[in-house]
Amino acid sequence: MLLAPVTALSWGYGLGVRLRGALYDKDLLHGERVEGLRIISVGNLNVGGTGKTPAVLHLAGMLARAGRKVGILTRGYGRQSKEPLTFTGTDSLPSAEEAGDEPLLLARRCPEARVLVGADRRFLARRARDEFGLEVVLLDDGFQHRKLARDEDVVVVDEAAGFGNGQLLPRGPLREPLSALSRATLFWIRSAATAAPSLPPLPGPQVRTRYKPTAWVDPTGREHAPDALSGEPVFALAGLARPGSFLRTLRELGVTLQDVSLFPDHHAFTASELRDVAQRAAKHGAKVVTTEKDAVRLPRGFEAWTVRLGVEVLEGEDLLRRALGLS
């Protein structure tokens, strides 16, 4: 019997993933260890939208406040340049096309951390240690990047999304089978705001967190209280893998959502798309609102308010400190 095309693709993808995983598990392939540098991977099993970036920001902030020399290693998904880059939030920053949207967001929100962008994370780790004297780096989206050995494997799980149908790409949302979770040393759970399907048993210690809006940032960069736009008409603009959580956040903030314009994750907004957004928002007398990640891809002069998210650790602060080497 012939397999449906999507099932055949999922089966073929899974075969490759399992073979590669087995080679690492049996030590036939080895991750490079960069001596003298603590490496903490922050990743996930799902494709996109689990809340990994706020987790990286929170951990980087903890390390910086503790006086550690911290860096963030990231591929810079969607960027046009292939040249490795490095910068901090206090430098003159590259464009989103050069660096990718997430590296720019990380640098802006945590200027104490050095961001290193490139495909070869082993090279970036050596550079972080040798050139900048960093003590610890966060390997952004690193769970599947086994070429670089790590001291901790933090896996982010969105309780609201769970693991979908439990199937591998493209039949489901998973990059690896659920059995890969046995490699995790710590699970970062993003608690669901409403009732959600129960997660399967997770084979390791867990930190429970809640994501909540901490401020509005206006087009001039000024921060305002979370209730600053309560009752006001807004137009939502986003390019996200799972925009539902953004729209729920807007409703929690008490705004009047007049219209939305949603695009794929990391979408490069065109001038015509933004003109359309501005015209539709003006028709409703609404402010354009967006996410921090989307805001870094907007051209200078395009007026939009940004929701700033923060993380509250509900349980497991001691586990986090131990994983970061702070206790």
**88 known member of a binding site:** no
**154 known member of a binding site:** no
The ranges assigned to domains in the chain are: 31-210+312-323, 213-309
**48 known member of a binding site:** yes
Cis before residue 201, ω within 30 degrees of 0?
no
**52 known member of a binding site:** yes
For the cut 70, the answer to whether the pLDDT of residue 1 exceeds it is no
**47 known member of a binding site:** yes
CB within 8 Å of 319: residues ≥ 6 apart: 186, 205, 206, 207
**61 known member of a binding site:** no
Query: Is the pTM for the entire model greater than 0.75?
Result: yes
Quick one: DSSP state of residue 179? G
**46 known member of a binding site:** yes
CATH number of 213-309: 3.40.50
CB within 8 Å of 43: residues ≥ 6 apart: 52, 139, 141, 142, 143, 144, 145, 153, 154, 155, 156
* CA-CA-CA-CA dihedral for 62, 68, 116, 22, to nearest 10: -80
Q: What is the mean pLDDT of residues 146-171?
A: 96
- % pLDDT > 90, the chain: 95
For the cut 80, the answer to whether the pLDDT of residue 3 exceeds it is no
Q: How far apart are CA 46 and CA 325, in angstroms?
A: 27
- % pLDDT > 70, the chain: 99
Q: How far apart are CA 189 and CA 203, in angstroms?
A: 13
Average pLDDT, the chain: 96
Domain 31-210+312-323 and domain 213-309, same fold? Reply is yes
**86 known member of a binding site:** no
CATH number of 31-210+312-323: 3.40.50.300
Q: pLDDT confidence of 169, banded at 50, 70, 90?
A: very high
